[in-house]
Structure 1
Amino acid sequence: MNMQIFSTFEISSYLELAISSLEEKGIKKEQIYAVPLDNRTEERRVFDSLHRSDGTSLIDVGAALATAFSVIGASVGFKLSWGPIYWGLIGAFIGFVLGVAIRLFTELVVKKNRRLLKGKYSEVILIIDCEESQAAFIENVLWNHYALGVAKVRKV
């Protein structure tokens, strides 16, 4: 019975080594398909929309700092002319704005630099047509050459 084995690789010399190892073991070039994925051309959006969210919150640090600054503002406000309520609200506003600014800075500058330093490029999907008897060997070769993931599918 025929099978297809799918695997993903980063673009590296390990991908080339895996393909040449498979060819040395009798897998024909016509049975191996390498499909490179395109890189993202647009920058990732920082602000979420109603229909899309990336799971990061911009107001979490702002809420924490708003709480802390409102307590400090209210405490100090007992000695000031406007009183503790106004100074607590002013402190909450300043803390919230400061927290959102810190979070925006970390998302836009720090995390962007971290992504650039990793040097991650698009992956390659490797598809191999083979017999079921060869599947275990091919899977072993792919894992030994640092495949990111491997899947086997029986062709009907």
Structure 2
Amino acid sequence: MLIVGHFEHSIELEQALAVLEENSVQREHIIVVFMDNDLLKSKYREFSPHPFEIGISTATGFAVFGASVGFVLTWGPILCGLFAAIIGFLIGYLGYSFIKNKKLQSKQKRGKHEVTVIIQSSEEQSQRIREILWQYQAHSVGQVKLP
């Protein structure tokens, strides 16, 4: 029988592994797999928009709106369009940079890596092993019967 547990990398994981080894689970029957989060991020990072691109996009929208309003105002459509473009660029660039930095900071705070533990055991031991994994704060635990 295979038992699979999913943890954050923490001291609880280390304690769970120590307790499992004390409870007659041999080290050869335990596999610990560290999940890699950076590979997927780096693969698609080039497709994420940059703050400059967002700034230019919002500047275009604001410039169109400013030029339209400028026909009514005394400054005219050209000056109003330029001022609106500058304001739009600043709003888009700074707003996107602020949001992107907040997301990055929140990811770094919870930045612990995920770990999957796979344990091969007999059916008699499986219930006790599952209890140990849950006791030491596993995110999820599953089991599969081997053929």
TM over 0.5: yes
CA 1:22–1:45 in 2, change beyond 3 Å: closer, same or farther?
Answer: closer
Within the alignment, does 1:24 sit opposite 2:19 as a pair?
no
Worse overlay, 37-46 or 95-104: 37-46
Instruction: Work out the number of aligned pairs and report it.
Output: 145
What's the offset of the Cα at 1:101? 0.5
SS in 2 for 1:152: strand
Aligned partner of 2:74 in structure 1 is: 80
Provide structure 1 residue ranges, at least 5 long, that are not aligned to the other structure.
none
Q: Distance in 2 between matches of 1:145 and 1:61?
A: 47
Return the TM-score normalized by structure 2: 0.67
What per-residue deviation string (whole Å, max 9, x for no partner) do you get for residues 63-103 of structure 1?
788767865664464122434xx577556644542343034
Alpha-carbon contact 1:5-1:153 (below 8 Å) kept:
yes
- Give aligned-pair identity as a percent: 23
Return the TM-score normalized by structure 1: 0.64
Partner of residue 101 from structure 2, selected from 101, 109, 112:
109
Provide structure 2 residue ranges, at least 5 long, that are not aligned to the other structure.
none
CA 1:134–1:16 in 2, change beyond 3 Å: closer, same or farther?
Answer: same
CA 1:91–1:77 in 2, change beyond 3 Å: closer, same or farther?
Answer: farther
Aligned partner of 1:144 in structure 2 is: 135
Q: Distance in 1 between matches of 2:45 and 2:36?
A: 24
